[in-house]
Amino acid sequence: MSNIIKVKQYLLNNYSTTKPVNLNYDTPEATFKYNELEYDLSDANLLKPGEILVETIHLSNDPAQKGWFSSSKDSYLPPSPLGEPAPARGIGKVLKSNSEKFKEGDFVEAQLGWTTHALVGADQTLTFPLDVSKVSKLSQFLSVFGLTTLTAYVAAYKYSELTPKDTDKVFLVSGAAGAVGSVLVQILAKDFKPKKVLAIAGGADKVKFVESLGPNVIGIDYKSSTYEEDFAKALGDDKIDVFFDQVAGEILDHASQYLKTFGKIVQIGAISSYNDPTKSNFENYATHVLLKRLRIQGFIVIDDFKDLDKIITHLEELFQNGTLDKTKFYETVVDATGDNFVKIPELWTGLFTGVNKGKFITKVAKGYD
């Protein structure tokens, strides 16, 4: 067996701060640059102290990556270095280790990047060992037990400032058919016992899906020409206690008028503006925030990693008692194995056209579930 590993990568070539990524690879302005190199497993100097070499199996596709492709210093993470693999979290297998934390053969979740093989550094604060006995397939570490599930968890149980069984409440969730939203809807509908959960999604199939996630869930199709009328009908005479928003833009501007006085907005994301900042130009939002004295809470899930063990324990309880249903954790998995690796940037942009239901995952390596 050869000790030489052939590596395929997409390097971050230019920052893409306020515009869509540039996929015209024939121009110097392209956001990404394809690259190939080799790693020699027999090279004693391949790994620095503390490093591990990881074979990428699955990559997570997340709207937050748009910020990671940016030069913005206002991000919760420092700008990614140009000339390095475009940043992405993923699941992989340790092929070689110079770390006391991991051994060859371990499965890990880490910041791997758009590369078939990743050198993961000694500072492994965001690298986690995986217990494969907890899942039926590896991709579930990005869906069922992924960061999106953790995000939904802390949004509901911490940042909403509500308690389960706080009944007779009305919740609104945007991006409800996605990886975060579909978990949120389940938790809110089943554990918080609300009067109703309004779940905004795009298209009839996704509306049907979100309405299957729990009792008292009313799906609303934002792509419909009658969206505002449908929204008003679903809400009726009620007002919204907490709005869990992932979209911002027109969705947030419109919905803000329907919150209760002293209601709350938990701002999870702002996907509508990631490729076009003008989408965050509001007409009525500031007025509604002022007149209704709304409270707005933004957060980043990595702030809660200190409580990870406790969160995982509670999540396992939620699966056991039926609040969360693994069969409702849909995955949209796209193929970037072998020669298809060159499609990774184009596949990722599907996030912004709504191609996925549930967690959007890119498969990089063959031979794994």
Evaluate whether residue 314 is within a structural domain.
no
What is the reported pLDDT for 16?
86
Evaluate whether residue 93 is within a structural domain.
yes
On the question of pLDDT at 74 being above 70, the answer is: no
Where does a domain end: 302, 322, 341? 302
Do 181 and 275 reside in the same domain of the chain? yes
Do 83 and 116 reside in the same domain of the chain? yes
**What are the DSSP E strand ranges found in the chain?**
4-12, 32-40, 52-60, 89-97, 107-111, 117-120, 128-129, 170-173, 196-201, 217-221, 240-245, 259-267, 295-298, 331-335, 359-363
H-helix or E-strand containing 205? helix 204-211
Where does a domain end: 253, 286, 302? 302
Contacts 24+ apart (CB under 8 A), 158-166: 158/304, 159/266, 159/297, 159/299, 160/242, 160/244, 160/264, 160/266, 161/264, 161/297, 162/192, 162/241, 162/242, 164/191, 164/192, 164/193, 165/191, 165/192, 165/193, 166/192, 166/193
Q: Strands 331-335 and 295-298: what pairing? A: unpaired
223/205 Cα distance (integer angstroms): 12
173-200 mean pLDDT: 95
Evaluate whether residue 319 is within a structural domain.
no
Do 74 and 204 reside in the same domain of the chain? no
Evaluate whether residue 321 is within a structural domain.
no
226/220 Cα distance (integer angstroms): 10
- For residue 119, give the CATH number of its domain: 3.90.180.10
Do 226 and 248 reside in the same domain of the chain? yes
Higher local confidence (pLDDT), 75 or 146:
146
Strand partners, 245: 267
On the question of pLDDT at 280 being above 70, the answer is: no
Do 72 and 212 reside in the same domain of the chain? no
Evaluate whether residue 207 is within a structural domain.
yes
- Model confidence pLDDT, tens digit, residues 330-362: 889 999 999 999 999 999 999 888 888 789 999
Q: What is the pTM of this model?
A: 0.81
98-113 mean pLDDT: 94
SS3 147: helix
What is the reported pLDDT for 76?
65
Number of domains in the chain: 2
Q: What is the DSSP letter of 156?
A: I
Do 47 and 62 reside in the same domain of the chain? yes
Residues with Cβ within 8 Å of 167's Cβ and at least 6 positions away in sequence, in order, are 192, 193, 194, 195
pLDDT category of residue 272 using cuts at 50, 70 and 90: confident
105/93 Cα distance (integer angstroms): 6
Evaluate whether residue 50 is within a structural domain.
yes
What's the whole-number average pLDDT of the chain? 91
- For residue 295, give the CATH number of its domain: 3.40.50.720
Do 192 and 123 reside in the same domain of the chain? no
Do 156 and 289 reside in the same domain of the chain? yes
The Cβ-side half-sphere exposure at 24, using a 13 Å CA radius, reads 5
Positive or negative CA dihedral for 271, 123, 90, 13?
Answer: positive
Do 29 and 136 reside in the same domain of the chain? yes
What secondary structure does DSSP assign to 290-351, as a single string?
HHHT-EEEE--GGGGGGGHHHHHHHHHHHHHTTSS-GGG--EEEEE-SGGGGGGHHHHHGGG
Evaluate whether residue 181 is within a structural domain.
yes
End-to-end CA gap in the chain: 24
On the question of pLDDT at 124 being above 90, the answer is: no
Evaluate whether residue 313 is within a structural domain.
no
Do 85 and 169 reside in the same domain of the chain? no
**Which tokens go with 344?**
């990774």
Structural domain that includes position 242: 147-302
Do 236 and 106 reside in the same domain of the chain? no
What is the reported pLDDT for 186?
96
Do 233 and 276 reside in the same domain of the chain? yes
Q: Which residues of 221-246 are buried (b: 16+ CB within 10 A; e: fewer)?
A: bbeeeebeebbeebbeeeebbbbbbb
**What are the DSSP E strand ranges found in 132-188?**
170-173
Higher local confidence (pLDDT), 166 or 10:
10
